[in-house]
Amino acid sequence: MNDSWRNDRIGSAHRGENPTVLRRLDQGFAVMGDRQFLPGYSVLLTDDPSVTRLLDLPRARRAAYLGDMERLAEAVERACRRLDPAFRRVNIEILGNTDPYLHAHVWPRYDWEPADLVRLPVWLYEEEYWRGTRYELGPRHDGLRTAIGEELDRLGGGAGA
C-alpha cells in the first residue's frame, strides 16, 4: 500500500485516501491507530489541519469536537468489551507534542497487559511496540474496525461514513 497519506492524514481523509478512517464525525475523523498492540487503539483527527490545539476552536466547535471524542471512546469501549473479556477501560489523551494538529488518542486497556505497564501511560511501552510490522494496523484488524464503526453508527450524531 502506498503510504503517502501518512504525510497528510487530514487532507487524505477529506479526499477518501486515508485507509485508517472509520467514520467522518461532526468535527473530525475517527481513525484506527497505526499501531495495534492495544487492539482498538483509535484517534480522533480534527478536520482542519490548521487547528493545533483544542482552544483554537470556537466554543461551539470545541464542544462538538469533545462530543466526537466521547462518542469514539464509547464506541471503542463497547466494541473492545464485546470482543475481549479482558477489556478494562479506555484512556483518552489530547497531547499534541509530536503531530502539529489537534487529535485525541483513545487507548483501550486490558487485563492481559504486562503487570508493570497496565496501570501506566501507554507511552511507556518499549520501542518494539511502536516500530516494525508486528503491531502494524492490517487486514487482521478488519473485524475490530467493523465493530468500532458499527458502534459509532449506533451512537449516531455524526456526519456518517
Round the average pLDDT of the chain to a whole number and report it: 93
Give the pLDDT confidence score for residue 161 in this predicted structure: 45
Mean pLDDT calculated for residue range 5-29: 94
- Look at residue 10 and tell me if it is in a domain: yes
**Which grid cell is 88?**
478494562
CATH of the domain at 64: 3.30.428.10
Given a contact cutoff of 8 angstroms between Cβ atoms, the answer to whether 155 and 74 are in contact is: yes
pTM of the model: 0.93
- Look at residue 161 and tell me if it is in a domain: no
Q: What is the pLDDT of residues 139-159, one digit of tens each?
A: 999 999 999 999 999 998 655
**Measuring CA to CA, how many Å separate 117 from each of 38, 78, 123?**
12, 23, 10
- Residue 6's pLDDT band, with cuts at 50, 70 and 90, is confident
Total domain count, the chain: 1
Question: Nearest Cα to 69, choosing from 94, 50, 52, 49?
Answer: 94
Domain that holds residue 109: 4-154
Mean pLDDT calculated for residue range 18-43: 97
